[in-house]
Structure 1
Amino acid sequence: MEASFWGGKNLPADLKKVSELTKRLVNVYSPSGQENELAELLAPLLRENFKVSLQRIGSRNNVIATKGKPDIILSAHMDTVPGKLKTYEDNKFIYGRGACDAKGAIASMILAAEKAAAYGASDFGLLFDVGEENSFEGVLKAVNIINPKLVVLGEPSSGRLVTQQKGLLQLSLTKKGKAAPAATPYKGISAIELLIASLNRLISIETFREYKKLGNTINIGMIEGGKAANIVADESRAIIDIRTVSNNSKILKDISKVLGRGVVKDLDFEPCVSDAKYLSDILKVKTITMSYFTEMYFWNKKSKAVVLGPGDYSVAHTEREKVSKRELLTVEEKYLKILTDDRVRRDMND
């Protein structure tokens, strides 16, 4: 069974529908830890066509919607990075926090799933989870109760198929010093100065010297320390985000040689490669490698998994976040094809 709505007389209506749903979702501010309002919007909307269950994650919920016994899952995260933005639109784009990461994907998935169900498709589901932007709590619980053969993750990929992604290392580096009055700094030891020296040594490590898109990259994302300007800081801390293409343990060894003690490993996920490249031929899209890290890492351990979504990643997490209306609809059709094309189910069993 295969369905297509592309290019017909309903195109303007379909374009309006996916745009309106995207705006509705973007209007709900849902930074990590505050996803409940969005989940409360999605659950009743999905109950109109699917069996819906909520999976408790602390004080929050993953939202799971199914039709039959799902062997295909379309999934996206409900949370966004912090920083509320005004939601608005022009003729081509919808702007606002989460527009491309990843509420546009949620809207496209829901409408594709509704069409697939109307065409008689079954045995698929939707998963909208929490905590993707910081802890991965949502997906770590979801993989324990859902057993699909194929998972398609909605992240901004400009409608292309992501079959390889970088790994992720997140480290904390803490330095201890000795407090003293600012008037006599020589009587103390500045933890901030110690931290700066260590960070300078860190970014000079061979593996980080060339900031190439598809090489190992490092970002010093947060620095904190000190109690007041007139006190020598007795403690400081940095949080470091490293995206990897090589073995994580080797990178950690290189870092330990340079920095010694004080480094704590918070997250450690290796790069991964998908086994679902066959979708490229069916969807007639290019396969790409992306520099970002996604939940594909977790699903790839138990099923075939890829990333496919509307939006340009370069504007995600920024004040310029936006998503193309036309791309929302184009990706919606790709999701629909995944749910209704018999070749997808045949090949995912190979």
Structure 2
Amino acid sequence: MISQEEKVKFLKELVEIYSPTGREEEAAKFIKERLEEYGVQAYIDKVGNVIGRKEGEGPLILLAGHVDTVPGYIPVRIEGDFLWGRGSVDAKGPLSAMLFAMLESDANVIFAGLVDEEGFSKGAKELEIPRPSYIIVGEPSGVDGVTIGYKGSLTARFVERIEKVHGSLGIGAAEKLIQTWLQISRNFGEGFNELSGRIVRFVAYEREFDFYGEMIINLRTPPGYTPPSEWDIIDFVPAYEVDRRSPLVRAFVRSIREAGFRPRLKKKMGTADMNILGPRFGVDAVAYGPGDSRLDHTPRERISISEYLKSIEILKRVLTKLGNLD
């Protein structure tokens, strides 16, 4: 068994490696080296993902988290029960919890630390491994929660070029783009089954003979959403939701309950690599991990150390239950 002190030390050292999207190499190398020290075969693939393979009993289970973080350095420190630092919650805490659960179980596991999750999920899209039977994605759900659904994410570009006229005779490119946004957003809602979104970039100016405007938007899309064919789509990841009756979900519910918590099934308004990996391999996927997702991307990002350690024990229970399904 690995000591609790060593588990906390690993997480702290990983968080101390600043790894915003596009700069994951040092963190991936750190994880690879530590996996090898623990006796796990590991390598870094062509896109920068760090992969570990631990053969064991039962069906093959993919444990996949992401190595990258959003930008913004937060001084790494431990204050009481909390470890502060960029990525402590999203998602190096969940990634570390999965790593130690794998090490302390007899399950048949592939561990994947993926790159570019905060970008366009190149790591998940390019992951080349044998088809697993189940997928667990490392994202903060809280120690007592398991995420069974994520909205989709659509990024689109709109451009307007209008021949210049006198300001009193017509509208310009900026106004046309605003009209487009108002049309798109008029039916926005806050629920999992409703469309929502925001403007990511907006520029508009006059050129010599025309008005020019460009708008990039990101929409969070509900299950079943299809974007208009005439849009200039930059990236689209559809929504994903697993059946709550899945053996994977049931394994989490039982394990969380056995650990003394009341299980919570969550559907999130964001998007994660779960949206890509579940459909890509055609198997059930959920997301689980310690941490309060409301702290994601904020200057207050910190994780409860006790929750991190408890989540490892829950993941070990889950792996054992899944291993007995074969």
What SS class does the counterpart of residue 65 from structure 1 fall into? Answer: strand
Hey, what does 2:303 align to over in structure 1?
A: 323
Pair 1:196-2:169 in alignment: no
* 1:51 and 2:38 correspond: no
Q: Distance in 1 between matches of 2:209 and 2:85?
A: 41
Shift of 1:316: 0.6
Q: Which residue in the other structure is 2:154 paired with?
A: 169
Given the alignment of the two structures, is residue 112 of structure 1 paired with residue 112 of structure 2, yes or no?
no
Q: Which amino acid aligns with 1:28?
A: I
Partner in structure 2 of residue 124 of structure 1: 109
- The structure-2 alpha-carbon separation of the partners of 1:191 and 1:29, relative to structure 1 and needing over 3 Å to count, comes to farther
Greater shift in the superposed pair: 167-176 or 98-107: 167-176
Q: Any conservation in 1 of the 2:201–2:217 contact (CA below 8 Å)?
A: no
Which residue of the partner structure matches residue 91 of structure 1?
Answer: 80
Q: Structure 1 residues 192 and 85, CA, compared in 2 at 3 Å: closer, same or farther? A: farther
Report what 2:254 is aligned to. 281
Q: Note the C-alpha offset of 1:305.
A: 1.4
1:33 to 9, 22, 38: 22
Deviations 1:234-257 (A, max 9, x none): 4332222222224212xx34xx8x
Question: Which residue of the partner structure matches residue 53 of structure 2?
Answer: 66
Instruction: Return closer, same or farther for 1:178/1:156 CA change in 2, 3 Å cut-off.
Output: farther
Correspondence for 2:198 among 220, 227, 230 = 220
Task: Measure, in 1, the Cα distance between the counterparts of 2:14 and 2:199.
Answer: 28
For residues 176-232 of structure 1, the C-alpha deviation after alignment (integer angstroms, 9 at most, x for no partner) is: 24579xxx766996433332232223221x2x1xx324242422242232469x999
Determine the C-alpha separation between the residues in 2 that align with 1:34 and 1:186. Answer: 50
Change (3 A) 1:317 1:345: same
SS at match of 2:63: strand
Secondary structure of the corresponding residue to residue 46 of structure 2? strand
1:190/1:232 contact within 8 Å kept? no
Query: Any conservation in 1 of the 2:162–2:211 contact (CA below 8 Å)?
Result: yes
1:158 equivalent in alignment to 2:136: no
Partners of 2:84 and 2:170 lie apart in 1 by 49
Percent of aligned pairs with the same amino acid: 25
Structure 2 CA distance for aligned equivalents of residues 246 and 337 of structure 1:
31
Offset of residue 140 of structure 1: 1.3
**What is the DSSP-based 3-state SS (H/G/I as helix, E as strand, rest coil) of the residue aligned with 1:320?**
coil
Equivalent position of 1:265 in the other structure:
233
Comparing both structures, which one devotes a greater share of its residues to strand? Answer: 2
What displacement does 1:87 show? 2.2
**Is the CA contact 1:100–1:322 (under 8 Å) kept in the aligned structure 2?**
yes
Runs of 5+ consecutive residues of structure 1 not aligned to the other structure: none
For 2:224, give the aligned amino acid. Answer: N
Distance 1:104 1:283 in 2: 18
Distance 1:45 1:304 in 2: 29
SS at match of 1:331: helix
Cα separation, 1, equivalents of 2:45 and 2:298: 30
CA distance in 1, matches of 2:184, 2:218: 12
C-alpha change, 1:67 and 1:186, in structure 2 (3 Å) is same
Query: C-alpha separation between the residues in 2 aligned to 1:295 and 1:167?
Result: 11
Alignment-mate amino acid for residue 181 of structure 2: L
* SS of residue matched to 1:31: coil
**Aligned partners of 1:221, 1:111: CA distance in 2, in Å?**
40
Residue 149 (str. 1) matches residue 126 (str. 2): no
CA gap of 1:145–1:114, structure 2 versus 1, over 3 A, is closer
Contact 1:169 1:248 in 2 (8 A): no
CA contact (8 A) 1:226 1:233 kept: no
- In the superposition, relative to structure 1, how do residues 19 and 177 fare at CA in structure 2: closer, same or farther (>3 Å)? farther
- Decide whether the 8 Å contact of 1:179 with 1:189 is kept in 2: no
What TM-score do the two structures reach when normalised by structure 2? 0.84
In 2, Cα distance between the equivalents of 1:95 and 1:232? 53
Cα separation, 1, equivalents of 2:98 and 2:176: 49
CA distance in 1, matches of 2:74, 2:214: 29
User: Which residue does 1:235 correspond to in 2?
Assistant: 212
Q: State the secondary structure of the residue aligned to 1:240.
A: strand
Match of 2:272 among 294, 308, 327: 294
Q: Residues of 2 paired with 1:310 and 1:233: CA distance?
A: 53
